[in-house]
Amino acid sequence: MSKSASCDVCFRHCEISEGTVGFCGVRTCDNGVIKPLNYGCITSLSLDPIEKKPLSRFHPGTNILSTGSYGCNLRCPFCQNSEISWSKQAYEFKERAEYLSPEELANIAEECRDRGNIGIAFTYNEPLIGLEYVMDTAKLIHDRGMLNVLVTNGTADVSVVKRLDGLIDAMNIDLKGFTDEYYRDVLKGDLQCTCDFIREAVKICHVELTTLIVPGYNDTEEEMRNIAGFIESLTDKDGNPIGKEIPLHISRFFPRFNLTEIAATDVAKVYRLADVAREKLAYVYTGNC
Domain ranges within the chain, ordered by starting residue: 37-287
Q: Are 160 and 105 in contact (CB under 8 A)?
A: no
Q: Are 284 and 231 in contact (CB under 8 A)?
A: no
Confidence of residue 1 (pLDDT cuts 50, 70, 90): low
* Minimum mean pLDDT range among 38-52, 74-88, 255-269: 74-88
Q: What is the dihedral of CA 186, 189, 193, 197, to 10 degrees?
A: -100
Instruction: Return mean pLDDT, the chain.
Output: 96
User: Is 32's pLDDT higher than 80?
Assistant: yes
pLDDT at 2: 65
User: Is 87's pLDDT higher than 80?
Assistant: no
Rounded to whole angstroms, the Cα distance separating 195 from 181 reads: 15
pLDDT at 261: 95
Dihedral sign from CA coordinates of 162, 165, 167, 172:
positive
User: Is 33's pLDDT higher than 60?
Assistant: yes
Confidence of residue 3 (pLDDT cuts 50, 70, 90): confident
Q: Are 99 and 127 in contact (CB under 8 A)?
A: no
Dihedral sign from CA coordinates of 126, 130, 135, 140:
negative
Q: What mean pLDDT do residues 69-75 have?
A: 95
Tell whether omega for the bond before 54 is within 30 degrees of 0, i.e. cis. Answer: yes
Helices (H) and strands (E) in the chain, counts: 8, 14
Confidence of residue 176 (pLDDT cuts 50, 70, 90): very high
Partnered with residue 235 across adjacent β-strands are 241
Rounded to whole angstroms, the Cα distance separating 89 from 241 reads: 44
Counting Cα atoms < 13 Å in the Cβ hemisphere of 256 gives 16
pLDDT at 90: 59
Confidence of residue 264 (pLDDT cuts 50, 70, 90): very high
Which option is the CATH number for 37-287: 3.20.20.70, 3.40.50.880, 3.90.180.10, 3.40.50.300?
3.20.20.70
